[in-house]
């Protein structure tokens, strides 16, 4: 898989109290450029969870339809 030129999107969000979360979303071609796109998202608490973030991914077809996880 090759990263789409946009690159990853990373931002911080704050939960209850002083808890902060780092959210990252990356976009990769799932084959030929211009075809299916693999979207990978991860969340961690900027603490020990950063070593094992919660991660989910899915694939969208070039026409916008859902391909699978």
CA angle (46 as vertex; 7, 56 as ends), nearest 5: 55
Distance CA(39)–CA(41), nearest Å, equals 7
Can you give the pTM of this predicted structure? 0.77
Unique residue bearing structure tokens 């939960």: 15
- The three-state secondary structure class of 48 is helix
DSSP 29: E
pLDDT attached to residue 1: 63
Question: Predicted confidence band at 32 (pLDDT cuts at 50, 70, 90)?
Answer: confident
Query: Which of 54, 2, 55 has the alpha carbon at shortest distance from 27?
Result: 2
pLDDT of residue 39: 93
Query: What is the mean pLDDT of the segment spanning 51-56?
Result: 94
User: Would you call 9 helix, strand, or coil by DSSP?
Assistant: strand
């Amino acid at each position: 898989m090759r990263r789409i030129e946009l690159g990853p999107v990373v931002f911080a969000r704050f939960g209850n109290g002083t808890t902060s979360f780092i959210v990252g979303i990356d976009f990769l071609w799932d084959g030929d450029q211009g075809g299916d796109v693999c979207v990978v998202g991860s969340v961690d608490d900027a603490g020990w969870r950063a070593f094992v973030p919660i991660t989910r991914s899915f694939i969208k077809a070039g026409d916008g339809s859902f391909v699978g996880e």
